[in-house]
Each structure stands twice: as C-alpha cells, then as structure tokens.
Amino acid sequence: MSFFTALTTRTFSNSARMAAAIKNVTVIGSGLMGAGIAQVAAQTGHTVTMVDIDKAAVDKAEKRIAGSIQRVAKKKFSSDEGEATKFISEALGRLNISTDPVASVGSADLVVEAIVENIGVKQKLFKELDQAAPEHTIFASNTSSLPIGKIAEVTNRKDRFGGLHFFNPVPVMKLLEIIRIPETSNATFEAMKEWGKNMGKVSIQCKDTPGFVVNHLLVPYLFEAMAMVERGDAFKEDIDIAMKLGTGYPMGPLELSDYVGLDTLKFIGDGWMRDYPEQSMYRYPKILAKLVEEGKMGVKSGQGFYNHNKE
Ligand code: 3HC
C-alpha cells in the first residue's frame, strides 16, 4: 500500500469510526436548550448525561422533559398507548443526571455545552473538560452568538471542536446548524453531521460568523419589530398578525421575542454592538433594554411584550 493510499484509508476509516462512534452524549446545562438537546438525544437512542451545577435547575429540567416527552410520544404513537409508554420509559432510562461536569465526560463521545452565554465561563468549563475527556471526544457549543473559535482556543482539541446550534423547542424544530472553525477536521464535521441525522434533524453548515445563519437574519428582524412598537408605527398585536398572515410565520416577531427570551436577545445584541459597532443592523431599540431592566424577559418570567401569566 502506498503512503498516500495508507493515509487516505486511515483518514477515511477514522472519519467513519468517529461518525459511527457517537453513542454517549454529555449535555452541559439544563436550561431550555440543554434539556431539549438531552431529551432528543435520549429519544433517539443515545446514552445521555445531562449536567447542571444547579440542582434546582436540573429538577426543573426533568419536569420539563417529562412534559415534553409525553407530547412527543402522544404524537408519535397516537393510536398505541403501550408503545407510547414504552418509548417514554426507554428514553428516560437512557437519561442520566449529574451536577458534576468534569466527572460526566469520562465516557463521552460528544459533549454539547448549553450553559450561560458568557465567554469566560464557557472557556473555563472547556479548559477543565479538555483535561478530563478522552482523546476522541468531540466538543461542541450550542452558543447562539459567541464565536466558536474563541471558545475552542483554550482547548488542545480545536480539530475536534465545532458549533452545534439547535432551535427552541428542540423536540419540534427540525434544524441543526453545524459551525466549522478553520481547525474543525473533516472527521469531526462528518461525525457531527451523522449525529445530527441520527437526532432526526436536518443540518446545514456555516462558518463561524456572527449569529451563524438563523440568528444573523432573525435577530435584526426581531429588533426592527421592537423598534416599530417603540416608534408607535403599529400595535404589537398587529405586527404579529401581519407577519403570521402575511408571510406564514408560525409566530409574529414580538411573540417570538417573548418565546426566545428578551434577556437572551439583549445579550446577543450587546455582544454584537460591542464587537461590530459600525453595523446598524445589530442595534436594538431602547424598549428591549427597558423591559429586561424591569425583569420582563418574556414567557420565562411571565411578562414581556405580552402577559404570559395564566389567570
Ligand atoms: N415539546 C414537545 N413537543 C412540542 C413542544 C415541546 N416543548 N412544543 C410544541 N410541541 C409540539 C407538540 O406536538 C404539539 O402538539 P400537541 O398540542 O399535540 O402537544 C405541536 O408541537 C403544536 O404545538 P402547540 O399546539 O403548542 O402550538 P403551535 O402549533 O403554535 O406550535 C411552536 C408551537 C412549535 C413553538 C410554533 O409556534 C413555532 O414553530 N414557533 C416558532 C419557533 C421558532 O421560531 N423557534 C426558533 C427560535 S430561535 C432559536 O431558538 C435560536 C436561539 O439561538 C435564539
């Protein structure tokens, strides 16, 4: 066998091995996104460890998953209650819980991080995990807007690092954005792609650019809808009706902003305004900062543009 053949054969088999190897998944963070990713991974046959240092957050996530998986099972096995119950108990049986990130990556093939959107906190976590995880483990961040390359730079596995960006609600939204940094190897990319497929998602790839594809287009649109409310151009209800009935979106932009979380959107905007001050499309109107300052984060706090408190 020539050197070249040996090399390509090895590269291919490495790629194939890694692509087939993602069985054990560790999800760090048990917020909306972390819990959703862990749930879908467990539903699709992976052994999952969902980790959060905050025990109360894990308890809340377990309740959310229990409710969500019921809805998935009801839809999937609408005419067979026995199959639905089996699906739920098997999926939940594959889902483990931990409050110790470092102890949870020992047998992970893939680690997906979905913790607070703070670059320093993410870097500290990945630096520790890099020491603890096996050589083959792929690391990924589900960040909405932070540069993947910046998070990866503290590790010694940039070739086994990428972005895996899911959408809320994870059990329902079909898309997975896979973000490659220049160092992401083909084998890593192929493994992430294969895993996305096994998770039942349709994946697209994107470079490590601000907001990747979806948030780059979506977030400025949400900001402009808020600006319309602030200027008094139209009522919020009318803006939402307009975009639902005029363009077929499932939610209007102000409903969707409340759903995503106004604090999350402000956080994304703050980062972009700091890093790209010349880009006017990344600026948000004062009304967003005001609502967040008042504790009005949207659905999660019960109040945002709309009141979500059930009577
Ligand atoms: N878990 C499981 N299934 C769920 C679910 C959940 N959390 N939420 C909804 N579903 C499923 C259920 O099967 C439900 O059927 P069921 O009523 O029989 O249980 C079905 O979806 C329909 O749900 P609903 O009747 O509650 O409501 P809708 O028909 O209005 O759908 C929606 C809800 C799917 C959220 C829809 O309004 C939608 O697609 N909205 C847009 C969401 C969106 O754009 N997400 C992306 C946000 S951007 C993002 O996440 C990126 C981040 O980085 C910021």
Residues with Cβ within 8 Å of 272's Cβ and at least 6 positions away in sequence, in order, are 145, 210, 211, 279, 282
Angle (CA) 255-117-104 rounded to 5° is 115
Q: Give CA–CA dist 52/55, Å, rounded.
A: 7
Question: 169: CA distance to ligand 1 center in Å?
Answer: 5
State whether 23 and 161 are in the same domain. Answer: yes
Residue 7, pLDDT above cutoff 80: no
State whether 152 and 280 are in the same domain. Answer: no
CATH number of the domain that 188 lies in? 3.40.50.720
Q: Give CA–CA dist 127/151, Å, rounded.
A: 9
Tokens describing residue 251: 């939610």
CB environment 263-293: b (16+ within 10 A), e (fewer): bbbbbbbebbeeeeeeeeebebbebbeebbe
Report yes or no on 147 lying in a domain.
yes
Task: Give which of 241, 242, 233, 230 is closest to 290, Cα–Cα.
Answer: 230
Supply the pTM of this predicted model.
Answer: 0.92
Q: What's the pLDDT score for residue 21?
A: 79
Q: Which of 24, 68, 117, 177 is catalytic?
A: 177
Question: 174: CA distance to ligand 1 center in Å?
Answer: 11
State whether 80 and 170 are in the same domain. Answer: yes
User: Last residue of a domain, which of 144, 176, 207?
Assistant: 207
Tokens describing residue 68: 């969500």
Q: Which of 15, 46, 145, 165 is catalytic?
A: 165
Please name every residue paired with 205 in a beta bridge, in sequence order, or none if there are none.
178
CATH number of the domain that 227 lies in? 1.10.1040.10
State whether 125 and 88 are in the same domain. Answer: yes
* Average pLDDT of the chain to the nearest whole number: 93
Report yes or no on 264 lying in a domain.
yes
Question: 259: CA distance to ligand 1 center in Å?
Answer: 10
State whether 140 and 201 are in the same domain. Answer: yes
Phi-psi region for residue 41, left (φ > 0), alpha (ψ -120 to 50) or beta?
A: alpha
Question: 165: CA distance to ligand 1 center in Å?
Answer: 17
- The residue ranges of DSSP E strands in 101-199, in sequence order, are 110-113, 138-141, 161-165, 175-180
Q: Give CA–CA dist 5/10, Å, rounded.
A: 8
Residue 19, pLDDT above cutoff 70: no
State whether 48 and 187 are in the same domain. Answer: yes
Ligand 1 pocket test: which of 76, 172, 300 has the largest number of ligand atoms within 8 Å of its C-beta?
Answer: 172
CA distances from 126 to 112, 115, 130, 158, 199 (A): 10, 11, 6, 11, 24
Question: 234: CA distance to ligand 1 center in Å?
Answer: 26
Residue where the block lists tokens 């409903």: 255
Q: Give CA–CA dist 125/116, Å, rounded.
A: 11
Q: What's the pLDDT score for residue 72?
A: 96
Residue 282, pLDDT above cutoff 80: yes
Please give the residue range of the domain that contains residue 106.
Answer: 3-207
Q: Whose CA is nearest to atom 44 of ligand 1?
A: 256
Q: Atom of ligand 1 at shortest distance to CA of 265?
A: 54
Alpha-carbon torsion angle 150, 156, 158, 160, nearest 10: -130
Q: Atom of ligand 1 at shortest distance to CA of 67?
A: 1
Confidence of residue 311 (pLDDT cuts 50, 70, 90): low
Check pocket membership of 75 for ligand 1, CB cut-off 6 A.
yes
Q: Give CA–CA dist 166/177, Å, rounded.
A: 7
Query: Residue 144 catalytic?
Result: yes
Query: Residue 165 catalytic?
Result: yes
Q: Atom of ligand 1 at shortest distance to CA of 142?
A: 53
User: Last residue of a domain, which of 207, 237, 263?
Assistant: 207
Report yes or no on 96 lying in a domain.
yes
Ligand 1 pocket test: which of 68, 71, 167 has the largest number of ligand atoms within 8 Å of its C-beta?
Answer: 71
State whether 187 and 132 are in the same domain. Answer: yes
Q: Which of 185, 215, 257, 301 is catalytic?
A: 215
pLDDT in tens, 37-70: 999 999 999 999 999 999 999 999 999 999 999 9
3-class secondary structure, 26: strand
Q: Atom of ligand 1 at shortest distance to CA of 264?
A: 54
Domain count, the chain: 2
Confidence of residue 5 (pLDDT cuts 50, 70, 90): very low
Task: Give which of 253, 266, 269, 268 is closest to 305, Cα–Cα.
Answer: 253
Report the relative pairing of strands 175-180 and 161-165 from DSSP bridges. antiparallel
CB-CB contact of 98 with 129 (8 Å): no
pLDDT in tens, 170-191: 999 999 999 999 999 999 999 9
Q: Give CA–CA dist 295/75, Å, rounded.
A: 35
Q: Whose CA is nearest to atom 38 of ligand 1?
A: 250
pLDDT in tens, 72-81: 999 999 888 8
Sheet of 161-165, strand order: 95-98, 47-51, 24-28, 110-113, 138-141, 161-165, 175-180, 202-207
